[in-house]
Amino acid sequence: MAITGKPHDISQDVEIIQGALAGEHAGIAAYRIAGESGLLVPDTLKVALLFKSHHEAHRDALAALITDIGATPVAPKSDEDYVADLKLAALKTQGDILSLATMLERGAASGYIGQISSIRDAGLAQLFAQISADEMIHWTTLNSAIGGSLPEPFQFG
């Protein structure tokens, strides 16, 4: 099924979609592991779980596209790999978790924005723009929570 609803071959974009899916797997793992750490106060944990659910929705949409293309979606890494890759063992406070999450969400937003011009299907480009908007909401919320400053124009992408 093409995103646009009309016949179109988005298989040329499968590597881009797979890369985005791998990023969503990492986001889900980071929020899950952070949520299980005991370092987050209840209100912060609620937000983390909400953002994790957003990443799960992104994952599901991207995995469905890959399956529809006839490819196999990239599998998530092990928790041990995410702990090592994201340096999660070094996180000792809620502030540490929020700082890392803020950085990861900014990277996710920029990553999606940066891929849009490479995508050949307009509907898929729109999906990436929508996901990027979600990532920007996550970044803005987290950045505000840590007392970060607002970015200058054109800082994402």
Write out residues in the chain with pLDDT < 50, as ranges.
1-2, 4-7
Residue 122: per-residue pLDDT: 87
Which class is 11-145 in CATH?
mainly alpha
Residue 8: per-residue pLDDT: 54
Q: Where are the domains of the chain?
A: 11-145
Residue 54: per-residue pLDDT: 98
d(CA 33, CA 48): 10
DSSP annotation string for 62-123: HHHHHHHHTPPPPPP--HHHHHHHTTGGG--SHHHHHHHHHHHHHHHHHHHHHHHTT-S-HH
Residue 106: per-residue pLDDT: 95
Residue 2: per-residue pLDDT: 45
Residue 120: per-residue pLDDT: 85
The predicted model scores a pTM of 0.91
